């Protein structure tokens, strides 16, 4: 009898507990547990939707879900600070990822802030994992060392392939990463500056075969193509359509899944991208003014730059330099106190400057971001679709900080103090 009961529990009851299809919310209504796929499309602007909405995937997102347009990005408009905002729901001065990398004139290689040890706020994947949910992350920024069951972190920066693989294994889940690499080796090696086809193949396989509650993934094709060829190039247009095809593959994989009705999808972009014709090199200008890097050094964040000085107040020579620098062609204005504060830059830098559209600080690229929010064609967007989200709804405004609370509500996670709001339901 005991054996029969044990077998009954294992066969009938345990799968129900494991799958956890139904849970009770706080007001006692039985609701279906939702799975969430959070898709980041790097460097796609709101204006790119004119093209994307002609594609089947985006027409489906618009018809079956809610589209939010003219959304503010978050300054500094670079990938790592913003993806940390998406994960935490708070501004960079609260979450600690104030810029992509840590620039140091005395070091040859500048490390990126890809590891969660740089974070100073709670995160969506960590809270989901702690509440018993299964999380999968594929190349999502700032997930190195994260508390994630299936973790394939993105390791950016100027490192060799061998070192990148070693760092990926050390900071992610080696079994998961190796099985993905072996299975999709060809796509990994043929990638042109991004791994998007491999990322989508991993996502499709996870949807087909593995139970998870939250999946986060980051597609980089548009960003790398816009940097190289410019945001309005034919190549960028092709990259946008390739990216729409990849979103379509994920939507199709969900439709083919037996639990398709449980899925919610949130698709967003972190920042737009502006065309560039001229690079300004602030550290070369410091050198020409006979100011040593140990005295003053500019951190170049593309559309803005920040000055680090090694004394509490700048010397007369630095003050004189800044008055000349601020009237240099391409230097638009000094950053406001609010921009310095919310970006967290005032914790490490004396002051900062915004570049004019068309100019970048540091290395030249035909397309760049990192600009202040007061630029034309610099808004972003997001879509959300799922059982708790109105179909065909179109909203405007708000900020990318509204995405983390939306994701918490979809997953029925208790929220921590955040700056944005779920404006969709």
Residues that bind Zn ion (CB under 5 A): 42, 79, 270
Closest residue to Zn ion, based on beta-carbon distance:
79
Q: Three-state SS for 218? A: strand
Q: List the structure tokens of 192.
A: 């042109």
Rounded to whole angstroms, how far apart are CA atoms 64 and 60? Answer: 6
Kindly state the smallest distance separating residue 388's Cβ from Zn ion, in Å.
28
Kindly state the smallest distance separating residue 22's Cβ from Zn ion, in Å.
38
Kindly state the smallest distance separating residue 298's Cβ from Zn ion, in Å.
21
Kindly state the smallest distance separating residue 9's Cβ from Zn ion, in Å.
48
CB-facing half-sphere around the CA of 254: CA atoms within 13 A: 25
Q: Packing angle between helix 56-64 and helix 234-255, nearest 10 degrees? A: 50
Q: Which is nearer to Zn ion, 181 or 236 (CB)?
A: 236
Kindly state the smallest distance separating residue 270's Cβ from Zn ion, in Å.
4
Q: In what order do the strands lie in the sheet with 367-368?
A: 358-361, 274-280, 367-368
Rounded to whole angstroms, how far apart are CA atoms 277 and 255? Answer: 44
Please give the radius of gyration of the chain, using alpha carbons only, rounded to the nearest integer: 23
Rounded to whole angstroms, how far apart are CA atoms 28 and 224? Answer: 48
Q: Which is nearer to Zn ion, 47 or 333 (CB)?
A: 47
Q: Which is nearer to Zn ion, 42 or 154 (CB)?
A: 42
CA torsion angle 57 63 64 69 (round to 10): 80
Rounded to whole angstroms, how far apart are CA atoms 152 and 143? Answer: 8
Kindly state the smallest distance separating residue 82's Cβ from Zn ion, in Å.
7
Q: Which is nearer to Zn ion, 127 or 246 (CB)?
A: 246
Q: Which is nearer to Zn ion, 48 or 270 (CB)?
A: 270
Q: Which is nearer to Zn ion, 60 or 343 (CB)?
A: 343
Pair type for strands 304-309 and 331-334:
unpaired
For residue 69, the cross-strand partners are 396
* b/e burial code for range 78-102 (CB count within 10 A of at least 16 → b): bbbbbbbbbbbbbbbbbbbbbbbbe
Q: Which is nearer to Zn ion, 85 or 254 (CB)?
A: 85
Q: Which is nearer to Zn ion, 42 or 221 (CB)?
A: 42
Kindly state the smallest distance separating residue 141's Cβ from Zn ion, in Å.
8
Kindly state the smallest distance separating residue 223's Cβ from Zn ion, in Å.
5
Q: Which is nearer to Zn ion, 362 or 386 (CB)?
A: 362
Residue 241: exposed, middle, or buried by beta-carbon count in 10 A (0-12, 13-18, 19+)?
middle
Rounded to whole angstroms, how far apart are CA atoms 343 and 77? Answer: 9
Kindly state the smallest distance separating residue 373's Cβ from Zn ion, in Å.
15
Cα of 402 vs its chain's centroid, Å: 14
Rounded to whole angstroms, how far apart are CA atoms 298 and 282? Answer: 6
Do 265 and 61 form a contact (C-beta atoms < 8 A)?
A: yes
Kindly state the smallest distance separating residue 274's Cβ from Zn ion, in Å.
13
Q: Which is nearer to Zn ion, 42 or 126 (CB)?
A: 42
Kindly state the smallest distance separating residue 100's Cβ from Zn ion, in Å.
9
Q: In what order do the strands lie in the sheet with 351-355?
A: 296-300, 304-309, 351-355, 331-334
Q: Which is nearer to Zn ion, 299 or 302 (CB)?
A: 302
């Amino acid at each position: 009898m005991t054996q029969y009961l044990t077998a009954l529990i294992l066969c009938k009851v345990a799968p129900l507990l494991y799958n956890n299809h139904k849970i009770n919310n706080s007001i006692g209504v039985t609701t279906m547990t939702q799975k969430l796929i959070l898709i980041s499309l790097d460097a796609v602007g709101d204006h790119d939707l004119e093209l994307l909405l002609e594609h089947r995937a985006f027409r489906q997102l618009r018809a079956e879900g809610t589209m939010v347009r003219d959304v503010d990005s978050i300054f500094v408009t670079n990938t790592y600070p913003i993806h940390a905002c998406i994960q935490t729901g708070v501004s960079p001065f609260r979450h600690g990822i104030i810029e992509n990398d840590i620039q140091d004139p005395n070091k040859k290689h500048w490390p990126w802030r890809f590891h969660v040890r740089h974070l100073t706020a709670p995160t969506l994947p960590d809270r989901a994992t702690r509440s018993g949910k299964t999380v999968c992350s594929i190349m999502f920024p700032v997930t190195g060392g994260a508390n994630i069951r299936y973790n394939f972190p993105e390791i950016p920066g100027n490192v060799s392939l061998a070192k990148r693989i070693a760092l990926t294994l050390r900071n992610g889940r080696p079994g998961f990463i190796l099985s993905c690499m072996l299975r999709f080796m060809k796509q990994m090696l043929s990638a042109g500056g991004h791994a998007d086809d491999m990322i989508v193949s991993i996502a499709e396989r996870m949807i087909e075969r593995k139970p998870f509650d939250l999946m986060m993934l980051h597609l980089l094709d548009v960003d790398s193509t816009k940097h190289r060829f410019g945001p309005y190039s034919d190549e960028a247009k092709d990259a946008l359509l390739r990216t729409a095809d990849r979103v379509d593959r994920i939507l199709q994989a969900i439709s083919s899944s037996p639990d398709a009705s449980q899925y919610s999808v949130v698709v967003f972009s972190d920042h737009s991208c502006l065309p560039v014709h001229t690079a300004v090199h602030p550290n070369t200008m410091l050198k020409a003014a006979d100011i040593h890097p140990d005295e003053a050094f500019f951190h170049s964040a593309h559309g803005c730059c920040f000055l680090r000085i090694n004394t509490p107040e700048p010397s007369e020579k630095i003050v004189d330099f800044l008055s000349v620098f601020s009237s240099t062609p391409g230097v638009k204005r000094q950053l406001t106190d609010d921009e310095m504060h919310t970006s967290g830059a005032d914790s490490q830098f004396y002051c900062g400057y915004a570049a004019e559209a068309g100019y970048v600080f540091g290395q030249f690229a035909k397309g760049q971001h990192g600009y202040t929010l007061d630029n034309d064609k610099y808004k972003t967007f997001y879509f959300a679709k799922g059982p708790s989200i109105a179909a065909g709804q179109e909203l405007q405004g708000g900020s990318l900080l509204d995405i983390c609370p939306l994701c918490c509500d979809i997953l029925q996670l208790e929220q921590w103090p955040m700056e944005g709001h779920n404006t969709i339901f």
